[in-house]
Amino acid sequence: MLAAMPPPVPPPTPAPGAPRVRERADACPGALRLHSADDGHLARLRLPAGRLTARQVEVLADAAEALGDGRISVTSRGNAELRGLADGCGAELAPLLAEAGLLPSPTHERVRNIVASPASGLDGLGTADVQLWARELDERLCAAPWAAGLSGRFLFVLDDGRGDVAGLGGDVTLVAAAPDAALLHMGGRAVRVAAADAPRAALAAARAFLSAARAAGTGAWRVRELPEGHEADVRDVRKALAAEEVPEPVLPQGPPPAPGPLGPAALHVLAPLGRLTAGQLRALLPADEVRLTPWRGAVVAGTDPARLPALEAHGLITRPDSPWAGVSACTGRPGCAKSLADVRADAVPGRPGLPVHYSGCERRCGHPHGDRVDVLAAPGGGYLVDGVPVARTDLARAVTTARTAPRTTR
Ligand code: SF4
């Protein structure tokens, strides 16, 4: 079934301490359920672990040019969005994606939300290759009819032990703890499982969440929305998989891989303001595979890092000292009716430093996790930089100061 949906209406915020009650299923767009925006329809393709084969790169780039606005947006979960799609183009898009293996299960297409350490298995860091876990988890997810009942926002995070993605707010987070062991985190608790059981354990945890959500009757989309007394419990996984509870679980924290070479046969680039042109996406080839990242870039596996200067010439960010590294923006005008400004056109990088995110309204869609400079469009054409009013003409100076000043003095 192909359908264009109107923009989602945000649910009312519950009173402090009151459980959130969801009266409807989530309205997240997908590849089959398009979202209607001011610049046309939008399709969001779930790419478990951000993975695209070389052929899928070509198909996605061709689809963006033939059906959309010629660009591919990379989301904060490493998924891909096509924008500017015409009315009725879903009937053309779906078979293209299916034929390329990008729609393995129409009933599960919106629940394949899996983020995994993108450089896993490529740079010698990390304790296990969680890209392999991601593939097994995706296969198991698509093979489980009940899993189609998860919301389009439910998130699995698989961290290879380096801590680059563990803090990205997963509902179920797996962390490689040793070559033969993994920690499964959910709702503030964790259990240790055998590495070979890790994908199966993540799926069991998701099922425990769905059971808890149904028992609570509040329509929760995510683990943190479950009301008191109905928590999803990792101990259910422990019973199913002979897992051992971890007394004081702590999620590892580490930096994302820097743009540049990643070992002898891989590299990492960032997309300017999180969008790739079809030409920039194709320029990543030849490669064995491309992994879109939660930092709105791409890890390219099976390619020569000596290609980095050529990719820079295509407009991609290839060095950590680029001022555009760490700069992101929401859709803004003209794509979003809520926006007070064309934030993507107004965005200036300032000097390298803290990440900075530009938003057209207070929803701050797509903002990165962690410490960042907040730039918010204000009525009258100006901006608020970390809450301080700034004229548009003064934005570069204000953003440079905010990105580079020590946090304690700001
Ligand atoms: S943050 Fe940006 S994209 Fe999100 S609703 Fe506001 S203006 Fe639109």
Distance from C-alpha of 284 to C-alpha of 65, rounded to nearest angstrom: 17
336 Cα nearest atom in ligand 1: 8
- Is any ligand 1 atom within 6 A of the Cβ of residue 331? yes
Among 237, 256, 275, the domain boundary falls at 256
338 and 312 belong to one structural domain: no
Distance from C-alpha of 109 to C-alpha of 49, rounded to nearest angstrom: 14
- Is any ligand 1 atom within 6 A of the Cβ of residue 4? no
Distance from C-alpha of 95 to C-alpha of 197, rounded to nearest angstrom: 34
Q: Which two tokens stand for residue 406?
A: 């020590």
128 and 248 belong to one structural domain: yes
Strands (E), 50-96: 51-53, 71-74, 80-85
339 Cα nearest atom in ligand 1: 7
340 Cα nearest atom in ligand 1: 7
- Is any ligand 1 atom within 6 A of the Cβ of residue 339? yes
| Residue 6 pLDDT exceeds 50 | no
CATH number for the domain including 83? 3.90.480.10
| Structural domains of the chain, count | 3
Residue range of the domain that includes 208: 124-256
| Residue 261 domain flag | no
289 beta partners: 53, 301
Q: Which two tokens stand for residue 129?
A: 């290759």
Model confidence at 10, pLDDT cuts 50, 70, 90, reads: very low
| Residue 223 pLDDT exceeds 70 | yes
| Residue 242 pLDDT exceeds 90 | no
CATH number for the domain including 385? 3.30.413.10
337 and 229 belong to one structural domain: no
The per-residue b/e assignment along 163-184, b for 16 or more CB within 10 angstroms, e otherwise, is: bbbbbbebbbbbbbbeeebbbb
Sheet holding 71-74, edge to edge: 3-5, 33-37, 40-45, 80-85, 71-74, 275-277
Picking from 351, 345, 277, the residue whose alpha carbon sits closest to that of residue 315 is 277
Helix, strand, coil % over all residues of the chain, rounded to 5: 30, 25, 45
129 and 245 belong to one structural domain: yes
| Residue 322 domain flag | no
39 and 89 belong to one structural domain: yes
| Residue 118 domain flag | no
| Residue 108 domain flag | no
32 and 69 belong to one structural domain: yes
Asked if residue 64 lies in contact with residue 97, where contact means CB atoms within 8 angstroms, the answer is no
| Residue 176 pLDDT exceeds 60 | yes
Query: DSSP secondary structure string, 102-169?
Result: S-S-GGGGGG--EEE-TTTTTSS-SSS-HHHHHHHHHHHHHH-GGGGGS-TT--EEEE-SS-SSTTS-
Q: What percent of the chain shows pLDDT beyond 70? A: 94
Q: Give the distance between the most distant pair of CA atoms in the chain.
A: 61
pLDDT, one tens digit per residue, over 49-107 is 999 999 999 999 999 999 999 999 999 999 999 999 998 888 899 999 999 999 999 99
Mean pLDDT of the chain: 91
Ligand 1 centroid–CA 335 distance in Å is: 9
8 and 92 belong to one structural domain: yes
Ligand 1 centroid–CA 378 distance in Å is: 13
352 and 306 belong to one structural domain: no
| Residue 112 domain flag | no
| Residue 236 pLDDT exceeds 90 | no
153 and 271 belong to one structural domain: no
Residue 243 has a pLDDT of 79
- Is any ligand 1 atom within 6 A of the Cβ of residue 22? no
Burial of 6 (0-12, 13-18, 19+ CB in 10 A): exposed
Find the mean pLDDT for residues 38-47: 95
271 and 244 belong to one structural domain: no
- Is any ligand 1 atom within 6 A of the Cβ of residue 332? yes
Ligand 1 centroid–CA 274 distance in Å is: 15
135 and 97 belong to one structural domain: no
Q: Are strands 297-301 and 51-53 parallel, antiparallel or unpaired?
A: unpaired
Identify the top-confidence range among 20-29, 82-91, 216-225, 276-285. 276-285
Find the mean pLDDT for residues 280-288: 98
Residue 408 has a pLDDT of 60
Sign of CA dihedral 228, 234, 207, 365: positive
142 and 166 belong to one structural domain: yes
| Residue 300 domain flag | yes
Find the mean pLDDT for residues 105-131: 96
Residue 373 has a pLDDT of 97
Half-sphere exposure of 282 (CA within 13 A, CB side): 13
Helices vs. strands in the chain: H and E counts, helices first: 9, 22
pLDDT, one tens digit per residue, over 353-394 is 999 999 999 999 999 888 999 999 999 999 999 999 999 999
| Residue 342 domain flag | yes
Ligand 1 centroid–CA 144 distance in Å is: 34
Residue 409 has a pLDDT of 45
Residue 383 has a pLDDT of 98
| Residue 383 domain flag | yes
Distance from C-alpha of 209 to C-alpha of 187, rounded to nearest angstrom: 10
